[in-house]
Amino acid sequence: MLRTSLIYLSRQLRVFDFVKNVGFARKMASRFVAGETISTAVEAVAQLNAKGIAASLDLLGESVHSEAEARATGRHYLEILDRIHERQLNANVSVKLTALGQDISDDLGVEVVREVIARARQYDSFVRLDMESSAYTDRTLDTFEQHLFPGFENHVGIVLQSSLRRTLDDVARANRLSARVRICKGAYLEPPDVAFPDKADVDKNYVAAMHTLLTEGRYPGIATHDEAIIAEAKRFAKAQGIAPDRFEFQMLYGVRRDLQEQIVKEGYRMRVYVPFGSQWYPYLMRRLAERPANIAFMAGNIVKESLGS
């Protein structure tokens, strides 16, 4: 019930209008969001890089309502890639097609995202297409396969969610293309005919997808904070003779920082997804919904930091 409530609240922009000026809420957001500007995000990436951790920068925000907004978001991503290149950071970018105009028209979304991917190719960088709710799965995968992967094979990849019942088929489709995939569990509340309602089934599907991506995929991103799944990835890779440089673990900014550093020390690759921007409220609500225990964790740390200051 708490997870459902948090996801519901993530969609209530009137609530955001209230909480964005509440210091406690902003303090909570700062744990998971690298500020509101490109400069703060770039500095966060530099700090991660100093620990041997790569990054993927994401400008927060989903569906835009005008062509002007879509093109403005595209220009922001061009600037992000420019700044990454200027600083010689170990980082790429993650984008949502709806933030680049997909809900206005598929043609607009394709045009804007191709400009971003072309800039990434110029710098020999990479663009990850974030996956949104199941309503966008087919559109995102079709756009990727028909309009983005051809010509940009080395510079664009997708995300698949193990919560969806269809995902093993989508993994096979991506592997046939030799496309790069990030596998995650998924943060959207979906109907039971589309997604597994039970965590055990989501985890089982995740492991099955992960095994296939490790053996047949192209440099998969294993995006999870689940220590049991991480241990299984290491065990499976070793058993199959898969070298640590053929895949990477991925985690969210501010989540299990101790585990991120431990994985790097063990000789594995780690990439942290670094969101930033003014639209932090929906993102924060979804992160808390994924693991409601984060609420108590965050509150405790904020109190400790406040008392210590």
Catalytic residue positions, numbered: 130, 182
∠ at Cα 266 (264, 268), nearest 5°? Answer: 55
Q: Which residue would you say has higher pLDDT here, 213 or 279?
A: 213
Q: Residue 69 forms beta bridges with which residues?
A: none
* CA separation for the pair 176, 82 (Å, rounded): 32
pLDDT tens for residues 221-258? 999 999 999 999 999 999 999 999 999 999 989 888 99
Calculate helix-pair angle for 38-49, 67-87, nearest 10 degrees.
40
Least confident of 21-30, 76-85, 167-176: 21-30
The pLDDT of residue 70 is: 97
Cβ atoms within 10 Å of 297's Cβ, excluding its own = 14
3-state SS of 6-21 is HHHHHCCHHHHHHHCC
* CA separation for the pair 116, 260 (Å, rounded): 29
Question: Phi/psi at 164 (nearest 5 deg)?
Answer: -85, 140
Segment 282-287 shows an average pLDDT of: 63
- Tokens 């409220």 map to which residue? 281
Least confident of 8-22, 25-39, 212-226: 8-22
Calculate helix-pair angle for 293-308, 280-290, nearest 10 degrees.
120
